[in-house]
Structure 1
Amino acid sequence: MPDPQPLRIIHCFRSPIGGIFRHVRDLAEAHARQGHEVGIVCDSTTGGHYEDALFDEIRPFLALGLVRLPIRRSIGPADLGALWRGYKEIRSLQPDILHGHGAKGGALARIIGSALRVNRYCVARLYSPHGGSLHYSRATLSGRTVFLLERFQEYLTDAIVFVCDFERRTYRAKVGRPRTRNELIYNGIDDRDFDTVYARPDAVDFLYIGMLRDLKGPDLFIDAFARTERIIGKPLSAMMIGDGPQRDEYERMMLERGLGRRIEMLPAMKARDAFAFTRNVVVPSRAESMPYIVLEALAARKPVIASSVGGIPEILGTNSAALAAAGDAQSLAEVMAAAMTEKDWAAKIMPEADAFKAAFATSTMSASIMRLYRQLVPEPATGREASPNTP
């Protein structure tokens, strides 16, 4: 049933690509179906035709609309323009909830939300890191600066939502124990994503799907694929699906190693469409938080081979034989070879289906986040005024 007192919710994030975009789309649809009004503020300079099509799918659920403005990845003077334009757009929508995702989205939501509160608007300010700034190292000046900014922004935050325990532990280690309310709420995927995706007759042995940049490990995938062929002693097949700034580098890497005919490259597409092309999904990331691609693949009943980074062990199991050492192509190749040669490897190694669905369904995620929203927003929801100068 629709909630008796609908909330006005705006999600802020930078790049409409990858897991954050998927997370926000799922939340927006789930909460809109419950009767809440939802809007999105994000960058206008990233994304392409594929992302435009995803926006078209979610528009019917965005009662508060879609605002796109230039938001750069790095910190700079241009951020002032984005903050001012974002403030004007968001102020006119009178949100009850501002939920920022990723470092830039979190800064926008919390700074703008705090400015609104100074001007007597009562709005709850939430932040989900999604990895983001937590990938920096405390050993670098840039890392220490970023973590100092994260610490300062806690004063502008009503709640931090961590999507996995790894993210929470990393935040505590690098930024410090949160001085504001914080919750652990796992990412979730929709019930329709739990239907099995069967492999086509011409399916490849291994699939990489995601951003084509070193952080996500496409180079490790190529290296591990070649090593797997040597371990097994026969040619194999693979596919890489995605877009990104280093696409040409990986294509050259494949050609130099003589793999051009056995690894096919395709542009970004929906994960479930991609899963039909393969028998195994490989996630070779050097760093992650709680990657959706692992959840989506497991829901589609695809075996997953992954680096032991971020929250992935929380999905597959801490001691899962499907996990490879991070950044280690040989370790990844050994798992890939086992998946190809050991009888019933996937049946023995992958998580039990019912328990997995109970933990990682969108219904579980959206309900937990809505409970948090409700606890942060006093009644009545819309049209409230804050006390003067509330930070």
Structure 2
Amino acid sequence: MPQQLRILHCFRSPVGGIFRHVRDLTDAQVAAGHQVGIVCDSTTGGDHEARLFESIRPKLALGIRRTPMQRHIGLGDVTAGWRTYKIIKELQPDVLHGHGAKGGVYARVFGSLLRVSRSRVARLYSPHGGSLHYDSDTAVGRAFFGLERGMDRFMTDQLLFVSDYEQRTFEQKVGKPRAPSTLVYNGLRDQEFEPVRPSPDAADFLYIGMMRDLKGPDIFIDALALAEKTLQRPLTAEMVGDGDDVAKYKQQAEKLGFAGRIRFHPAMPARQAFALAKVIVVPSRAEAMPYIVLEALAAGMPMIATAVGGIPEIFGHGSRALIAVSPRDLADRMAEAKQDLQGFREAMPSAETLRARFGADVMAREIEAAYHAALQDKTLAH
């Protein structure tokens, strides 16, 4: 029987793709007989995330431990870091898997402190974009990439990338990894390939994601206005997601005359949101390998997405679905989709193609292999 591991996932914000990724991993790892736990921020996430936590809590032998973690580096990290370190030390994991920038720092720094005290713990890091979104020409970017280089050299046993784009970006901005690295695509569960049918009163377009500029809700609203001018008829849209900037986007929509034609909703299950509209739009300015794209395609939904990060790896370069990060480009593609919805639907990747490359079972198996490879490193203390 394979060795049972104590696996602890550490990340900051329990929303969006990182949280989805961790939930998928915990499900697979628990099913494989491992003891699993989560450490994350207690100040982010709403009712939707609270329900998700409650659904997985009974499965997690190491529990769910939430403590305040600030988004940006600052003096608050001293207190937050100390609280997090005490939690991790108490749980004594064999594998400490950090996700995102803050989770990656905490997992590797605190895993290294445990190693100093002769604990046998493997330190793994999945960037999920994170600090790699910064510009290497800025002081902040240079500082983050310097920190990444130091931790890669001295505090990392395995790097796990979710897209070829992310791996190439790491090499360009940080340098060729010293630690062993593996490309493991995000995975979909079998039930996610059941088609979703739009409701009878479905809107024309759907934005679903975090309400922050990085994800492009402002681009979506501006493009909708431009598409209306092209088509010479009104369009409707649904916007689903939480974030501090919701009020700003509502104000933008009202200013452009969309009162009543763009409806805003709090975060909800993705497949429930898909039924609200006929076409999904992902207007992100930056991504690593977004789950929402994979989920929507598996559900049989036609999509428009910006050609950023790992998104072209899903569709294939030159796909009709891909656009530049531009309200004008998005508006033109919206008008095209509105005029030829069936043709647009037929241009999406097939379910068979998605299953072959993006399976949850494949993802979990490859990540577990990375855990065991890290634990077999002779530099691990015993």
One fold, TM greater than 0.5? yes
Name the structure 2 match of 1:191: 190
- Asked if structure 1 preserves the Cα contact closer than 8 Å seen for 2:204 and 2:277, the reply is yes
CA-CA distance at 1:255 after TM superposition: 0.9
The residue type equivalent to 2:311 in the other structure is I
Residues of 2 paired with 1:241 and 1:348: CA distance? 25
TM-score (norm 2): 0.97
CA-CA distance at 1:103 after TM superposition: 0.7
The residue type equivalent to 1:4 in the other structure is P
CA-CA distance at 1:268 after TM superposition: 0.9
Residues of 1 paired with 2:183 and 2:380: CA distance? 29
CA-CA distance at 1:335 after TM superposition: 1.1
- Asked if structure 2 preserves the Cα contact closer than 8 Å seen for 1:338 and 1:345, the reply is no
1:64-79 mapped onto 2 (5 Å cutoff)? 64-79=62-77
Residues of 1 paired with 2:2 and 2:346: CA distance? 46
Name the structure 2 match of 1:220: 219
1:210-359 mapped onto 2 (5 Å cutoff)? 210-326=209-325, 328-342=326-340, 344-359=342-357
Residues of 2 paired with 1:244 and 1:38: CA distance? 29
**Structure 2 residue 11 is the aligned partner of structure 1 residue 13:** yes
Residues of 1 paired with 2:346 and 2:244: CA distance? 37
Deviation per residue, 1:73-98 (Å, 9 max, x gap): 11112212222222221122221100
Residues of 2 paired with 1:11 and 1:48: CA distance? 20
Name the structure 2 match of 1:122: 120
Deviation per residue, 1:180-236 (Å, 9 max, x gap): 111100011211111111111111110001111111100110111111111122112
The DSSP-based 3-state class of the residue aligned with 2:203 is coil
**Structure 2 residue 46 is the aligned partner of structure 1 residue 48:** yes
* More divergent stretch after superposition (271-280 vs 340-349): 340-349
Residues of 1 paired with 2:74 and 2:234: CA distance? 49
The residue type equivalent to 1:302 in the other structure is M
Residues of 1 paired with 2:235 and 2:43: CA distance? 38
TM-score (norm 1): 0.95
Name the structure 2 match of 1:27: 25
Residues of 2 paired with 1:87 and 1:145: CA distance? 23
RMSD, matched Cα? 1.4
The DSSP-based 3-state class of the residue aligned with 2:38 is strand
The residue type equivalent to 2:381 in the other structure is A
The DSSP-based 3-state class of the residue aligned with 2:135 is coil
Name the structure 2 match of 1:362: 360
CA-CA distance at 1:343 after TM superposition: 5.9
Name the structure 1 match of 2:150: 152
CA-CA distance at 1:307 after TM superposition: 0.7
Name the structure 2 match of 1:386: 381
The DSSP-based 3-state class of the residue aligned with 2:77 is helix
What number of residue pairs does the alignment pair up? 380
Residues of 1 paired with 2:81 and 2:381: CA distance? 21
Residues of 1 paired with 2:166 and 2:59: CA distance? 29
Decide whether aligned partners of structure 1 residues 266 and 125 sit closer, same or farther in structure 2, where only a CA change above 3 A counts: same
Deviation per residue, 1:338-375 (Å, 9 max, x gap): 11112632343100210111211111111110111122
Residues of 1 paired with 2:48 and 2:367: CA distance? 28
- Asked if structure 1 preserves the Cα contact closer than 8 Å seen for 2:301 and 2:345, the reply is no
- Asked if structure 1 preserves the Cα contact closer than 8 Å seen for 2:98 and 2:106, the reply is yes
Residues of 2 paired with 1:67 and 1:96: CA distance? 17
Residues of 1 paired with 2:285 and 2:233: CA distance? 28
Deviation per residue, 1:127-155 (Å, 9 max, x gap): 00000101111111111001000100011
* More divergent stretch after superposition (224-233 vs 203-212): 224-233
**Structure 2 residue 126 is the aligned partner of structure 1 residue 131:** no
Residues of 1 paired with 2:302 and 2:310: CA distance? 17
The residue type equivalent to 2:181 in the other structure is N
Residues of 2 paired with 1:304 and 1:114: CA distance? 43
Q: Percent identical across equivalent pairs?
A: 55
The DSSP-based 3-state class of the residue aligned with 2:287 is coil
The residue type equivalent to 1:291 in the other structure is P
Residues of 1 paired with 2:262 and 2:54: CA distance? 32
The DSSP-based 3-state class of the residue aligned with 1:127 is strand
Structure 1: stretches of 5+ with no match in the other structure: none
Structure 2: stretches of 5+ with no match in the other structure: none
Name the structure 2 match of 1:106: 104
Decide whether aligned partners of structure 1 residues 251 and 343 sit closer, same or farther in structure 2, where only a CA change above 3 A counts: closer
The DSSP-based 3-state class of the residue aligned with 1:205 is strand
The residue type equivalent to 2:194 in the other structure is D
